[in-house]
Amino acid sequence: MIGINSIENSFKRIAGCFAYKNDLSLERVERSVCKIKFHFECDAPDGVLRKLCSGGVGMDMVSNVIISEEIAYGCSGIATAMLANGLAETPLIACGSEEIQKKFLPRMVEEPLMAAYCVTESIAGSDVAGTKTRCEKKGDEYIINGSKMWITNAGHANW
pTM more than 0.75: no
Question: Could you give the domains of the chain?
Answer: 6-110 (1.10.540.10), 118-153 (no CATH)
Q: What is the pLDDT of residue 44?
A: 47
Q: What is the pLDDT of residue 140?
A: 94
Residue 77, classified by CB atoms within 10 Å of its CB into exposed (0-12), middle (13-18) or buried (19+), is middle
Mean pLDDT of the chain: 75
pLDDT at residue 4 above 70?
yes
Range from 33-37, 97-101, 140-144, 154-158 that averages highest in pLDDT: 140-144
Range from 21-30, 90-99, 120-129, 132-141 that averages highest in pLDDT: 132-141
pLDDT interval class at 85 (50, 70, 90):
confident
The set of residues, in sequence order, having a beta carbon less than 8 Å from that of 125 and lying 6+ positions away, is: none
Q: What is the pLDDT of residue 141?
A: 95
Q: Which residue has the higher pLDDT, 143 or 53?
A: 143
